[in-house]
Structure 1
């Protein structure tokens, strides 16, 4: 069982800490903008304190957020995006399902079969089952890795079929610009794990929904967030 989150030795109440972390990971805001938004509400806290809260509590919240149960009918869309970290090129490998839900992502230095195999192996371990199909771009490394890790799974390789995975990179690209890049591999890996968990929770499915359904989805998401942060009234 996951241990409850402890806010001991923190001067600010848990509700303020959780709200600041939510603002930072949910919206394309810099730390200084979050600081300013809290100041408007009469909360005087430095942007560096908010950064430390995000680093400490963000991963803990993400581990407690509800996860989408895997299904044998799932389709995995895989893609990789180049990310500059301290001036050096790295690759962020990401997998999303047919609904755009981020399943996993991993930062690696290479764009080859070994890197693709590592992503697939992690996915199989985390999901506990193979998908119905994987969809990728034309990178041959995916096919080689798939034959080693899940040889019986159907593989479709086509640039036009993989828009769902490619589009999943866009929200992080916006954050990358706001944050003016990432300084370390570990920092990027930590940020993306929390960022995607929060986005998975709050962004409604791609299917068209009524305004009422969207409102209910947001209420449920906020309830799940507060439960994960341990700040339910």
Structure 2
């Protein structure tokens, strides 16, 4: 099922790829697998990553779920690694305050500087939650966070939208940690280096999912 997180495929395309491997799946199979195992695998990958740097980029983007506008709050570090995602109804101060507290709790440390756009909710929450941290509010400085929304948009289009806010909240944190594991910076590597890197990443994935202990397929 790693194909579901790795590529921005529709379910029918993923189903055909799995069928070529002799596996028959359904929508309910994928849903149950994601609920049961997706976040656990994502947490294992997160623990293997280095601690986040001192600069965090925060951004929010709207999405429509059942024709109702919701906001996806996202935080990434200077290397583009996703720190946390929060799906909420409004981009207001209470939500920003909650998001800041979640970030501090999950990271276990305060950043040196946070970079946001000019949304006033960030400044109000920053003064309450982390007043000692430098805050840079400028739209042009926050391209890293804005670019990190692109894989989510691709997946959203492939899935033809999210079905519920809770489903989006469960899916996105796992997706944004598993998908980058299979997407190294290909444009920065030679073909030989890329093949070696993918071998390493598949070995890590097999170790996490305990695939090496499974009996070989007939």
Same fold, judged at TM 0.5 (above): yes
d(CA) in 2 for partners of 1:207, 1:164: 17
Kept in 2, the 8 Å contact 1:75–1:134? The answer is yes
Are positions 1:222 and 2:202 aligned together?
yes
For residues 140-184 of structure 1, what are the alpha-carbon distances to aligned partners after superposition, in whole Å with 9 as ceiling and x for unaligned? 111111111111111111111101000111111111111111111
The 5 A counterparts of 1:28-43 are 28-43=8-23
Instruction: Answer 1 or 2: which has greater helix percent.
Output: 2
Structure 1: which 5+ residue stretches go unaligned?
1-20
In the alignment, which residue of structure 2 is the partner of 1:93?
73
The 5 A counterparts of 1:126-145 are 126-145=106-125
Kept in 2, the 8 Å contact 1:138–1:158? The answer is yes
Kept in 2, the 8 Å contact 1:31–1:48? The answer is no
Assess, with a 3 A threshold, how the Cα gap between structure 1 residues 43 and 203 changes in structure 2: closer, same or farther: closer
Moved more, 207-216 or 218-227: 207-216
Scaled by the length of structure 1, what TM-score is found? 0.84
Assess, with a 3 A threshold, how the Cα gap between structure 1 residues 45 and 207 changes in structure 2: closer, same or farther: closer
CA RMSD across the alignment:
1.9
Deviation at 1:210, TM superposition (A): 4.1
In the alignment, which residue of structure 1 is the partner of 2:104?
124
Query: What is the count of residue pairs matched by the alignment?
Result: 212
d(CA) in 1 for partners of 2:182, 2:18: 21
In the alignment, which residue of structure 2 is the partner of 1:189?
169
d(CA) in 2 for partners of 1:179, 1:131: 34
Kept in 1, the 8 Å contact 2:7–2:179? The answer is no
**SS, match of residue 114 in structure 2:** strand
Assess, with a 3 A threshold, how the Cα gap between structure 1 residues 131 and 66 changes in structure 2: closer, same or farther: same
The 5 A counterparts of 1:199-210 are 199-204=179-184, 208-210=188-190
In the alignment, which residue of structure 2 is the partner of 1:48?
28
d(CA) in 2 for partners of 1:77, 1:142: 11
Scaled by the length of structure 2, what TM-score is found? 0.89
In the alignment, which residue of structure 2 is the partner of 1:9?
none
Kept in 2, the 8 Å contact 1:99–1:206? The answer is no
In the alignment, which residue of structure 1 is the partner of 2:145?
165
For residues 84-137 of structure 1, what are the alpha-carbon distances to aligned partners after superposition, in whole Å with 9 as ceiling and x for unaligned? 111111111000011111010011111011111111111100111111111010
Assess, with a 3 A threshold, how the Cα gap between structure 1 residues 85 and 208 changes in structure 2: closer, same or farther: same
**SS, match of residue 84 in structure 2:** strand
In the alignment, which residue of structure 2 is the partner of 1:11?
none
Moved more, 122-131 or 56-65: 56-65
d(CA) in 1 for partners of 2:188, 2:20: 35
Assess, with a 3 A threshold, how the Cα gap between structure 1 residues 205 and 43 changes in structure 2: closer, same or farther: closer
In the alignment, which residue of structure 2 is the partner of 1:15?
none
Deviation at 1:62, TM superposition (A): 1.6
**SS, match of residue 61 in structure 2:** strand
